[in-house]
């Protein structure tokens, strides 16, 4: 399954992403127009402050008209590695830094129109660090039992994919690490 982007024109450039209009030719000769959101990528962090607990953030999200409970997360800055972004976002949004930080998953949230690759990190052995949320962020940190967060993921309390995937992946990894099924 091959294709060629014959032409690409940027129609919008914002601080986080840009939108391109693309003329695409598929291997079978079909030509079509595809509009794509070109995104630098993002990270989310399943932060474990103590055994059996996870940090969530309640955050105002204008796009959905209210607040969501989510894993801490953010967009990569130019030239920043995903791992560095995960450490930065953890500090900015929760006031912690991780002595142990490892990638546990990655996925495309909306591959039909967006290039964003979202990476999930597990953060353990947390120590306090100065919180520095972005000027436009309205965040409240919540330290909840991990089983409660898993129930939130399964029952649809989380409304975003990164929090569902990240919470379930972290719970699975931590169960295996502790010898439970």
DSSP 112-138: TTB---EEEEEEEEEEE------TT--
Segment holding 178, helix H or strand E = none
Is the pTM higher than 0.75? The answer reads: yes
Q: Are 81 and 13 members of one domain?
A: no
Mean confidence (pLDDT) of the chain = 95
The answer on 146 and 67 residing in a single domain is yes
* Total domain count, the chain: 2
- Give whole-number Cα distances, 56 to 2, 80, 88, in Å: 41, 24, 16
Q: Which long-range contacts (CB under 8 A, 24 or more apart) does 9-15 make?
A: 11/35
Q: Do 27 and 66 belong to one domain?
A: no
pLDDT at 73 over 70: yes
108 and 21 in a common domain: no
Confidence grade of residue 75 (pLDDT, cut at 50, 70, 90): very high
- pLDDT of the residue at 87: 98
- Residues 163-177: pLDDT tens digits? 999 999 999 999 998
pLDDT at 179: 76
């Amino acid at each position: 399954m091959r294709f060629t982007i014959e032409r690409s024109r940027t129609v919008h450039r914002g601080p986080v992403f840009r939108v391109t209009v693309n003329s695409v030719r598929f291997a079978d000769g079909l030509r079509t127009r595809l509009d794509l959101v070109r995104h630098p990528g993002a990270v989310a962090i399943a932060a474990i402050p103590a055994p059996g607990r996870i940090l969530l953030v309640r955050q105002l999200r204008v796009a959905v008209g209210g607040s969501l409970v989510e894993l801490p997360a953010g967009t990569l800055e130019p030239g920043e590695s995903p791992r560095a972004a995960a450490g930065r976002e953890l500090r900015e949004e929760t006031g912690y830094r991780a002595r142990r930080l490892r990638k546990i998953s990655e996925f495309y949230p909306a591959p039909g129109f967006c290039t964003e690759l979202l990476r999930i990190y597990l953060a353990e052995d947390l120590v306090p660090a100065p919180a520095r949320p972005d000027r436009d962020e309205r965040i409240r940190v919540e330290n909840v039992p991990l089983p409660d967060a898993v129930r939130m993921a399964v029952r649809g309390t989380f409304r975003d994919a990164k929090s569902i995937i990240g919470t379930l992946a972290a719970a699975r990894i931590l169960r295996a690490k502790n010898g439970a099924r």
